[in-house]
Amino acid sequence: MTRAPHPAAPRPYRYTLAERLYLPLLAGMMVTLKHFVQNLLGRRKSYTIDYPEGRRRYSHRYRGHHILTQRPDGSLRCVACFLCATACPAECIHIEAAEHPDVNIEKYPVVYDIDMLRCVFCGYCVDACPEEAIIMSNNHDMAYFSREQSIVTKEELTRPYTYDPSRLGYRPEYPEEQARKLAAGVVDLVGEARSHPAQSSAS
């Protein structure tokens, strides 16, 4: 396939008479005037989210603060296999393992620290965990006053840092679970998407 030769000199745009006379500026001003009037009279829904009083809906896969899950008896599901620490590209997970008295469980973490200031919230730890011991919440709002404060320990990770415990974030979802949610009519996904695309990101 041969192409036309490359142009040797640029050919700039030529103005039309209307453009030369600044006439299209009026059309532009009508656009902003229309927006202004619509906002003033309240005809258009405002896109602004009133954080912190209001929040938008986050998706079920939102990658927020980590949560260490627990078994029904209250102990951590984590068996200190180090898969999350190996999968983490930022090497921000620090684990120290100890032997668990129950032979079926074998190990548990004595120390499980995540350096929140190194974490890039990629979700690889959740993907790597074979026990669903670490998941992520829907809250990403954190701020620390010092580097020491940002190293989050096992105890703090167990308490879910979330603004709504019934809707968590990034965690393994089997295809059956999603289908079950749809079938149970838990969320009207299509209706939400149509109502206000900017406000809802539910899934």
Q: Which of residues 90-109 bind another protein (CB under 8 A)?
A: 90-92
Task: Please pick, from the candidates 71, 86, 96, 180, the single residue that binds another protein as defined by CB under 8 A.
Answer: 86
How far apart CA 176 and CA 120 sit, in angstroms, is 29
Per CB under 8 A, contacts with another protein among 163-182 are 169-170, 172-176, 178, 182
How far apart CA 72 and CA 88 sit, in angstroms, is 28
Q: CB of 98 within 8 A of CB of 125? A: no
**Binding residues for another protein, total number by CB under 8 A:** 90
Determine if the peptide bond prior to 175 is cis (ω within 30°).
no
Per CB under 8 A, contacts with another protein among 14-53 are 15-16, 18-20, 22, 24-25, 27-28, 31-32, 35, 47-52
C-alpha distances (whole Å) from 201 to each of 5, 58, 110, 196 are 48, 5, 37, 9
Shortest distance, position 124 Cβ to another protein, whole Å: 7
Residue among 17 and 103 whose Cβ is closer to another protein: 17
Shortest distance, position 189 Cβ to another protein, whole Å: 4
Shortest distance, position 147 Cβ to another protein, whole Å: 7
* Strand, coil or helix: 80: coil
Contact stretch for another protein (CB under 8 A) within 71-79, 101-109, 154-162, 194-202: 194-202
Contact stretch for another protein (CB under 8 A) within 69-77, 95-103, 153-161, 192-200: 192-200
Residue among 101 and 103 whose Cβ is closer to another protein: 103
How far apart CA 170 and CA 122 sit, in angstroms, is 10
Task: Please pick, from the candidates 77, 94, 100, 140, the single residue that binds another protein as defined by CB under 8 A.
Answer: 140
C-alpha distances (whole Å) from 26 to each of 19, 22, 31, 37 are 11, 8, 9, 16
Give ∠ CA 17-19-23 in degrees, rounded to 5: 105
Task: Please pick, from the candidates 17, 40, 103, 190, the single residue that binds another protein as defined by CB under 8 A.
Answer: 190
Residue among 7 and 72 whose Cβ is closer to another protein: 7
In DSSP terms, which residues pair with 97 in a beta bridge?
109
